[in-house]
Every structure is written in C-alpha cells, then in structure tokens.
Amino acid sequence: MASRSQLISQLATAMNNDGLNIEMPNHYDRSTGTFYIRGNEVTKNSAKRALRFFEEKALKCPNSVKGQEVLQYYNIAIASIQKCMEEANESTTK
C-alpha cells in the first residue's frame, strides 16, 4: 500500500502538477553539483544554463524603477546559483 506522501504525489501527477515529492526537502548536493527542488533533480549543466539566463536577462533590464527592481531579483538569483556552484567546487577540491 502506498504511503500518504506517495498518494499525494500521485494525485499531484494526476492533476498535472508533475508529482511533487513532499518528503524530500530542497537541497544542493555539493559532491555532484546537483540541486534537488521539490524532489526534481536539476543538474550542474542546468544550473549553468539558468545562470546564463539570469545574466542575459539582467543585461537587458531597462533603466527604470521597475527595471531596477527586477534587476535586483536577477542579481539575487545569479548570486545564489554562483554561491552554490562555488561551494560545490570547494567540496570537490578538498
């Protein structure tokens, strides 16, 4: 018999919600450079592509109040991804 969390995940999948894994918290595996977000694996290459995406978007932000606000969000995402990747590199070189 399926556990409660498995049933919830199956229900989410049936409702086109990609089956969230509520048992697995979001985390970053430094040894492999892999993010786990809602139970989904995000590889190091995907993280690099996301980093490039945010960097490109940041360069295109208009010089307006709203544009600068959005730029701050992009910079937060960029810094967060870079920090995780730096920590991954540090842990693999030790």
pLDDT tens for 20-49 read: 555 667 777 777 778 787 777 888 888 899
To the question of pTM greater than 0.85 for the whole model, the response is no
**What range does the domain containing 86 cover?**
4-93
Does position 69 have pLDDT exceeding 70, yes or no?
yes
Nearest one of 29, 30, 10 to 21, comparing CA atoms: 10
Does position 71 have pLDDT exceeding 70, yes or no?
yes
Label residue 51 by pLDDT band (50, 70, 90): very high
Domain tally for the chain?
1
Average pLDDT over residues 66-87: 89
Name the DSSP letter for residue 71.
H
CA distance 34 to 1: 31
